[in-house]
Amino acid sequence: VKDNLRVMRACRTPLAFTARLLPHGARRTAHRGNVPRSSVRTVVMASTSTTTLVTPKWVKDNLADIHVVDASWHMPALKRSAVDEFKAKRIPGAKFFDIDGVSDGANPAPHMLPSTQGMRAALNALGLIDDRAVVLYDNDGMFSVARAWWMFRVFGRDNVFVLDGGAPAYEAAGFTMELDGDVAAVDASAQACQDAMKGEKGSDFRGEREFLVKSMDDVIKNIDASTFQVVDARGQARFRGEAAEPRAGVRSGHIPGSRNVFFGDLLNSNKTFKTKDEIRAIFVSNGVDLSGDKPIVCSCGTGVTACILALALDTIGNPNAAVYDGSWSEYGADEGAPIAVGEA
């Protein structure tokens, strides 16, 4: 294990995994459940507010000990193929996780959460069922990867990390990418999920951590109850109802009472996250209460960039922000759902 790794709270790491990465003399202490910070020389632990994001150097130094997963997905209008891009270039040893294919295909809303059985099958198909840490990335830097991170958390996986800045940051750091060649089972996660879900009835799947997932019914009831804050990640023009939605049949506007924090405002030009102080200031300036007294639910267009908000909140000490899975593509398409326009 390299000595230049950052120290993180290993007490929540799966025990066998923690012991494997500790200096030899510290292993007996780890098995007693008491790992001194001075002995820990690696970053492998449950996702917490200060540890989720990892650097390109950390990924490069630990490729032999982690699972690396490309979770790229692109908006249909861009006409880009995440699969073709993965085949052409990827971080060495990476596997491909399809957020669109690992979903509830029977739901009309895009890439809605699959059942627990479907998600388990997808992870098993990629060999992600052991206790090694998983590092997720995408080809945009910070986009669909946040959705994959949230999905892993919803289904009970803790030692999951996100490469800040994604594949572009890894290349910019001077590290070699794997090019072309044979890439086995690129569609394995999607196919396994869909096979496992054949014959399943129902929808509105919430995984193993239901507190991280909200439905349209939850959101509508909250308009009057106001038990949680809804924060919308879409751009201001869409939020205010001044711009048409990209999906046909979806009205313009926002959920009454919601706040607007455009996900792009949280990122630097290279798609890495801004500093924690900057992130806090952006949320607060847009009327979001970060005290912890009132839970936060993130929304967006299709449940992807909402997860960027959830990941940003995780980095500043609010790790339990939920996501409205259907988001505006579901809500705005329902003629019976109340909407608001204008400023928050």
- In DSSP terms, which residues pair with 299 in a beta bridge? 232
The CA–CA distances, whole Å, from 166 to 172, 238, 268, 305 equal: 10, 27, 13, 15
Give buried/exposed letters for 126-145 (b at 16+ CB in 10 A, else e): bebeeebbbbbbbbbbbbbb
Instruction: With H, G, I as helix, E, B as strand and everything else as coil, classify residue 5.
Output: coil
DSSP 229: E
Name, in order, each residue with C-beta under 8 angstroms of 166's C-beta and a sequence gap of 6 or more.
137, 138, 139, 140, 141, 142, 145, 271
| Contact present, 259 and 286 (Cβ < 8 Å) | yes
Tokens representing residue 75 in the block: 């908006």
Residue 300 known to be catalytic: yes
| Contact present, 106 and 201 (Cβ < 8 Å) | no
Name, in order, each residue with C-beta under 8 angstroms of 161's C-beta and a sequence gap of 6 or more.
43, 47, 51, 52, 53, 54, 133, 134, 135, 136
| Contact present, 326 and 334 (Cβ < 8 Å) | no
Q: Which residue has the tokens 């992807």?
A: 304
- In DSSP terms, which residues pair with 123 in a beta bridge? none
Instruction: With H, G, I as helix, E, B as strand and everything else as coil, classify residue 299.
Output: strand
The CA–CA distances, whole Å, from 160 to 15, 22, 51, 155, 285 equal: 15, 19, 10, 12, 30
Pick the catalytic residue from 11, 193, 298, 300. Answer: 300
Residues taking part in catalysis = 300
